Amino acid sequence: MTSVTHDESAYVPPAEVEEPELYHPKTFVGKYIWSQDAKVIAVQYAITAIGIGLVALVLSGIMRLQLGFPHVFSFITPSNYLQFVTMHGMIMVIYLLTALFLGGFGNYLIPLMVGARDMVFPYVNMVSYWVYLFAVLLLVASFFVPGGPTGAGWTLYPPQAILDGTPGHNWGIILMCVSLAFFIIGFTMGGLNYVVTVLQARTRGMTMMRLPLSVWGIFMATILALLAFPALFVSAIMMTLDQALGTSFFMPALVSKGQHLNYNGGSPILFQHLFWFFGHPEVYIVALPAFGIVSDLIATHARKNIFGYRMMVWAILAIGGLSFIVWAHHMYVSGMNPYFGFFFATTTLIIAIPTALKVYNWVLTLWRGNIHLTVPMLFAIGFVFTFINGGLTGLFLGNVPVDLPLSDTMFVVAHFHMVMAVSPILVVFGAIYHWYPKVTGRMLNDTLGKFHFWFTFLGTYAIYYPMHYLGILGVPRRYYAVTGTEFIPQSAHSLNEGITIAALIVGAVQVVFLYNLIWSYFKGKPAGGNPWRATTLEWQTPQTPPKHGNFGATLPVVYRWAYDYSVPGAAEDFIPQNQPPSKKARGLEQTLDAGELGAQTRSASGAPKPVGGSS
């Protein structure tokens, strides 16, 4: 047992805080529409992201209908199918997951968790949301323009993205590129806030190494996004110029339908490099916040400190750094130099090390923990399972000789859905069940939550496990129909039907979740300030939901790290970060240090009362 020194001199009175220069909304519109309060902006981001995400969910249902029952639905034409594939992918990755993790959870959690009154640039933060909304509307508009949205696949590879045969090669692709450019501008505004708030606006005593891992994950993901999104920005602009003004950045000399096009000498591979220089960090932009949040969920609901906090922080940093030098593993089939492929295969395998460390640490945190199988915990454990599954197939695909035959098959689809679709979305659900009580003051319904979890968790396995097998058989991705193909056996078609049925059930179950969100807002059980008995600052606010300014008259002072759960000798099984150490606790610690077993039983008489705990 390491000695813990608690003494009165460690107590620091809260700082004399001047009346903060907050923006004070006077009208309903100022408070909820043109709001500069990070918490309101977070909810705006979350509702918009979930709304557009539902569109993408419906699109995936239509795709699955086509794949499971080809030639049955006359309204799904080959062009439509490609458009639905494209929009589903782009919406889910960028407009749902990135926006929800960084714009939604980032805005809500960063100021509360670091003990700030708001983001450092509230006005810029507000503009960020409205630019994001504009980008979403541009994206939606592409469904209604002549030719429809682009059908180039979410990777938008040229030259086919702007050639005649591709659906939406006119308006669709331009709206897509412009929408992405606006998304990036909006995100940059928000991202500046997230980074500078974490760096500069932490409250007294909140050192970087006392930050909850949620903040670390969101912080690092934001840095990745700020540095990686410019690559997408550049490629979106060049693509727009190629399509609208006829430049040849990406477009090579081409003969299309017997006609020489006016393009000359452009490099499609250049686009792939730019796209994946953004695209691979994007995986971690989605994954790192999930890693951080799930660490906090597991520690809180297992009533145990996170195993290897320092290692977790280092792993987040290592993953962030490495994610910039693995991008070409998406391009093994582009005819690259074998040494180039070897380099990227090596870096890809190296990034598995910090990732595996994190997985071990989650499992070791659960080990002999006091596990409460609450709904957030179920989703967190579900995440660990799914992430291991998806991560292992990543090791397969990271090796050049294994990737070559599997490239562009259903195996790839299964891999990235497990690792960067299902895993992060399970964390999103877990996080919503965890923080909804703080956002609304009411608990989500537990029974509906468990129903939602089991159907989603088992359902996604019913969808994606068989898909690996289809991929190994050689079933290609993005094909409208593979009937009448010699090498694909009948069993693969019946498997596809089964996958479709599972996908439709999982999709329908999400309605239960939405119903729960709305029903609980009005009828849910009142939550109180700290229903999960958690240590971090957002649960110690004087009001729930927190008012504008977050912490009332004085900002909290932080005395300890975020994971003081089940501390021997403490009165409760958690000690909030803002609870000062006391002399009485010191006496107890010393007895413990002397090795007197049974000291914990004495805690009832002499231990400090937590400040601001569940009261």
Partner 1 sequence: MAIAVGWLVRQTLNVKPWIEQRPVKNVDGEGALPLPPVKVGLGVFLAVATSLFALLVSAFFMRKMGADWTRLAVPRVLWLNTVLLLLSGVAMQWTRAAARRGQIDGVRSGLIAAGVFTFAFLAGQLWAWQQLNASGYFVATDPAAAFFYLLTALHGLHLLGGLWVWGKTTAKVWRGVEVGAVRMSVELCTVYWHYLFLVWLVLFALLLST
Distance from C-alpha of 599 to C-alpha of 597, rounded to nearest angstrom? 5
Distance from C-alpha of 134 to C-alpha of 187, rounded to nearest angstrom? 12
> According to the binding rule CB under 8 A, does residue 12 interact with partner 1?
yes
Size of the site for partner 1 (CB under 8 A): 68
Kindly report the length of the chain.
615
Question: Which amino acid appears at position 263 of this protein?
Answer: Y
Q: C-beta of 38: minimal distance to partner 1 in Å?
A: 14
Selected from 42, 52, 152, 238, the binder of partner 1 by CB under 8 A is: 238
Selected from 4, 357, 359, 504, the binder of partner 1 by CB under 8 A is: 4
Q: Which long-range contacts (CB under 8 A, 24 or more apart) does 248-251 make?
A: 250/158, 250/159, 251/158, 251/159, 251/162
Stretch that binds partner 1, among 88-96, 224-232, 333-341, 376-384 (CB under 8 A): 224-232
> According to the binding rule CB under 8 A, does residue 2 interact with partner 1?
yes
> According to the binding rule CB under 8 A, does residue 358 interact with partner 1?
no
Residue 138 or 206: which CB sits closer to partner 1? 206
Selected from 237, 349, 388, 599, the binder of partner 1 by CB under 8 A is: 237
Distance from C-alpha of 73 to C-alpha of 4, rounded to nearest angstrom? 68
Residue 18 or 486: which CB sits closer to partner 1? 18
> According to the binding rule CB under 8 A, does residue 274 interact with partner 1?
yes
Stretch that binds partner 1, among 56-64, 84-92, 237-245, 514-522 (CB under 8 A): 237-245
Residue 366 or 585: which CB sits closer to partner 1? 585
Distance from C-alpha of 94 to C-alpha of 134, rounded to nearest angstrom? 14
Contacts of 75 (CB under 8 A, 6+ apart): none
DSSP 8-state secondary structure symbol assigned to residue 37: -
What are the residues facing 19 on neighbouring strands?
none
Cβ(570)–Cβ(539) under 8 Å?
Answer: no
Distance from C-alpha of 270 to C-alpha of 331, rounded to nearest angstrom? 11
Q: C-beta of 251: minimal distance to partner 1 in Å?
A: 10
> According to the binding rule CB under 8 A, does residue 404 interact with partner 1?
no
> According to the binding rule CB under 8 A, does residue 480 interact with partner 1?
no
> According to the binding rule CB under 8 A, does residue 109 interact with partner 1?
no
Selected from 266, 437, 524, 613, the binder of partner 1 by CB under 8 A is: 266
> According to the binding rule CB under 8 A, does residue 272 interact with partner 1?
no
Q: C-beta of 12: minimal distance to partner 1 in Å?
A: 4
Distance from C-alpha of 70 to C-alpha of 63, rounded to nearest angstrom? 10
Distance from C-alpha of 186 to C-alpha of 191, rounded to nearest angstrom? 9
Cβ(376)–Cβ(430) under 8 Å?
Answer: yes
Q: Tokens representing 392?
A: 């292992």
Stretch that binds partner 1, among 147-155, 156-164, 245-253, 517-525 (CB under 8 A): 245-253
> According to the binding rule CB under 8 A, does residue 477 interact with partner 1?
no
Selected from 52, 326, 421, 557, the binder of partner 1 by CB under 8 A is: 557
Selected from 205, 441, 507, 545, the binder of partner 1 by CB under 8 A is: 205
Distance from C-alpha of 422 to C-alpha of 351, rounded to nearest angstrom? 20
Sign of CA dihedral 306, 310, 316, 319: negative
Distance from C-alpha of 94 to C-alpha of 50, rounded to nearest angstrom? 12
Q: C-beta of 117: minimal distance to partner 1 in Å?
A: 12
Q: Which long-range contacts (CB under 8 A, 24 or more apart) does 251-260 make?
A: 251/158, 251/159, 251/162, 252/159, 254/159, 254/163, 256/163, 256/164, 256/165, 257/164
Selected from 188, 243, 295, 510, the binder of partner 1 by CB under 8 A is: 188
Q: C-beta of 2: minimal distance to partner 1 in Å?
A: 5
> According to the binding rule CB under 8 A, does residue 31 interact with partner 1?
no
- Give the relative orientation of helices 338-366 and 268-301 as an angle to the nearest 10 degrees: 10
> According to the binding rule CB under 8 A, does residue 611 interact with partner 1?
no
> Interaction with partner 1 in 291-310: which residues (CB under 8 A)?
305, 309-310
Q: Give which of 68, 77, 85, 165 is closest to 483, Cα–Cα.
A: 68
Q: Give which of 173, 169, 193 is closest to 181, Cα–Cα.
A: 173
User: Which chain residues interact with partner 1 by CB under 8 A?
Assistant: 2-6, 9-10, 12, 15, 120-121, 188, 191-192, 195-196, 199-210, 223, 226-228, 230-231, 233-234, 237-238, 241, 245-249, 262, 264-267, 269-270, 273-274, 277, 305, 309-310, 313-314, 317, 321, 557-561, 563, 581
